[in-house]
Amino acid sequence: MMADGSSVEKGQPGLAEAALFGLCPRCGAKGLFAGAARFAPSCKACGLDYGKYNVGDGPAAFLTMIIGAITVALALWVEFTFDPPVWVHALLWIPFVAITTLAGLRLSKAALLAAEYQRKARQATGEDLRKPPSAGPGQSGD
Ligand SMILES: [Zn+2]
């Protein structure tokens, strides 16, 4: 029996679940990530090709701004509250930025891939552009 190509199957992880634990959006197996924030080429359990999902650098730019803002706010707070020497800042913020960026990248990339999988996202083609939005009322004949 072939169950290939069916839309939504039981046992698929939710979006948040897949993002938090790095699960395969199709079968729910762990191992979405091969590196710190790099996808594995495909799922070891079900063979889903992660490479065809183009998540891109959108999340990176977004995260950089958010993490940058949070880090500056925290650094200013620490500076004015504890008045620490400069090396304390280096000790605090370098690992902080590294960890939050990695965690954020993993989360957002996994969430995007799962969302793309669930919505069967693909590149837009000329076919999409030629398609009329919807047939409005009052149009008759051709
Ligand atoms: Zn899988």
- Within 10 Å of residue 56's Cβ, how many Cβ atoms? 10
Q: Find out whether 75 and 93 touch, Cβ atoms under 8 Å.
A: yes
Amino acid 52: pLDDT: 86
What are the boundaries of each domain within the chain? Answer: 15-121
* DSSP output for 25-36: TTT--B--BSSS
Residues lower than pLDDT 50 in the chain: 1-8, 139
> Distance (Å, rounded) from C-alpha 65 to C-alpha 71?
10
> Distance (Å, rounded) from C-alpha 25 to C-alpha 112?
10
Q: Find out whether 41 and 50 touch, Cβ atoms under 8 Å.
A: yes
Amino acid 124: pLDDT: 61
Residue 34 corresponds to which tokens in the numbers above?
Answer: 């091969």
* Ligand 1 geometric centre to CA of 125 (Å): 27
Q: How many CA atoms lie within 13 A of 16 on its CB side?
A: 0
* Ligand 1 geometric centre to CA of 31 (Å): 9
* Ligand 1 geometric centre to CA of 92 (Å): 38
* Ligand 1 geometric centre to CA of 121 (Å): 17
